[in-house]
Amino acid sequence: MLDAAVFAAVAVVVGGVVAVTARDGRIVVLGLMLAAVAAALVASPLPSSLAVTARILGAMLAAYLLWAAAGSGSVNSAGSAIGLVAEGSVAVAAFAVGLAIRPVDPLAGPVEAQAAGLSMIALAVVPLAGRDAFRMGVGVTLLTLGGSLLVGAWAGPTPSLEQLAMAALLVGIAGATCLLIPSAEAEEAAETNAEGTEAVEAEPPSAQPVAAANRAAVARGQAFQVIAKPASAALDDSQPVRPIEPEPRPRPMTADPIEPDDWLAWGAPAPEHVRRATTRTGRRPPVPPPTHTEKPAPKKPTRSRPNLHGKP
C-alpha cells in the first residue's frame, strides 16, 4: 500500500520540473508553491499540525511575493536551457538514484524524501548556472527544498522550530529575488543602450555621390557650395550645386580720390586682346597709353539784333 509520503514526493518533483521549465512567471510561481507545500508532507510520521501550518504559510507568502512581481509583467522566465524532456529525464533519474542508494543505513526518515531531495538538487543546477535573477532565485529555492528533504531523510523528523526557520528562509529568498529583479533589468537596459551607442559611433558616415556636373566644375577649379542633405535623400544630377559668389575686392588705399568713372574702369575686365595675349605668352603685354583727342571748342551762339531800319 502506497504511503502519503510517496504522493508528496512525486508532487515535489512535478512542482520542481514545472518551476524550472515554464516560461510564464506565474506558472513558475505555482510550481514553486506546489513543491514547497508538498515538501513539508514528505515525512514519516507527519510533523505536528502547527509546524505543517507554519511551513505551508511560509511557502504561500513566498509564492505571493513572486506572484506580485510576476503579475506586474516585470518577471518572465526564459524557460529551461536544455528543454522540458531533458529536465524531466534528469529529475526521474535523480529520483531513481535516491531510491536505490543508502548513504545512511538505516535511514532515519522515508527514502522518498531522499529521492525527492536529490531530484530538487539536480533540477537546481541549470537555473543556478544562468545570469537571470528570477531563474537564480528559483534555483536557490529548489536547492533549499532539496537540502531540507535530505536532512529529513537522514536525520529524522524535522522539529517545529526548524520548520518555522525553513518557512522564514523561503520568504527571505523570495523577497531577495524580487529586489534583485529590477536592478538586473536596469543593468541589461544600460548594457543595451551602451551597445547601441557604440554601434552608432562606429558606423561610418554615408558618402553621398557627387554629380558629374559638379565634378567637372571642381576639375576646372571653380568653387561650389555643397548643400547638406540627409543620408536617405538621393542627390539629383539634374540640379547642379549652387556656385559661391565671389566676395567684392577691397578698395585700394590711395591718396588721390577715385572718381566714379575710374572705379568703373578699375572693376571692368581686361580688353579682349590683352586676355588673348596673356593666354598665349603667359605674360601680360604692356597696355598702350590712351590717346586724348582734343575736341573743337563749341561755337558761341550769336545774339541777333533788332532790325531798326527795315533792311533785309
pLDDT value at 133 more than 60: yes
Cell numbers that stand for 249 in this block? 575686392
CA angle 235–240–241, rounded 5-degree value: 85
- What does the pLDDT read at residue 205? 46
pLDDT value at 224 more than 50: no
Helix axes 160-202, 49-71, angle to 10 degrees: 10
How far the first Cα of the chain sits from its last, in Å, is 173
Give the CA diameter of the chain: 178
Q: Which amino acid is at 287?
A: V
| Cβ neighbours, 10 Å, residue 103 | 10
Helix axes 4-21, 84-100, angle to 10 degrees: 150
* Dist. CA 127–CA 233, nearest whole Å: 50
Cell numbers that stand for 299 in this block? 561755337
- Tell me if residue 224 falls in helix, strand or coil: strand
- What does the pLDDT read at residue 97? 94
* pLDDT confidence bin for 180, thresholds 50/70/90: confident
Expressed as residue numbers, the domain containing 57 is: 4-189
* Dist. CA 58–CA 36, nearest whole Å: 9
Averaged pLDDT, 93-119: 91
Residue 312 placed within a domain: no
Closest C-alpha among 118, 113, 128 to residue 40:
113
Residue 70 placed within a domain: yes
* Dist. CA 198–CA 214, nearest whole Å: 35
- Tell me if residue 102 falls in helix, strand or coil: coil
Residue 252 placed within a domain: no
- Highest mean predicted confidence (pLDDT) among 25-29, 183-187, 229-233: 25-29
pTM of the model: 0.58
Report how many domains make up the chain: 1
Question: HSE on the CB side for 242, CA within 13 Å?
Answer: 5
Q: b/e map of 107-119 (b: 16 or more CB within 10 Å)?
A: eebbbbbbbbbbb
Residue 217 placed within a domain: no
* pLDDT tens profile 31-70: 999 999 999 999 888 888 888 899 899 999 999 998 888 7
CA angle 129–86–71, rounded 5-degree value: 65
Averaged pLDDT, 272-288: 59
Closest C-alpha among 174, 170, 159, 173 to residue 52:
159
Residue 82 gets the label, from left (phi > 0), alpha (psi -120 to 50) or beta, of: alpha
Residue 74 placed within a domain: yes
64-78, 123-137, 217-231, range with the lowest pLDDT: 217-231
* Dist. CA 269–CA 267, nearest whole Å: 7
Residue 150 placed within a domain: yes
Contact (Cβ atoms closer than 8 angstroms) between residue 211 and residue 240: yes
Residue 145 placed within a domain: yes
- Establish whether the linkage from the previous residue to 257 is cis, with ω within 30° of 0: no
Residue 279 placed within a domain: no
Closest C-alpha among 231, 245, 244, 241 to residue 210:
241
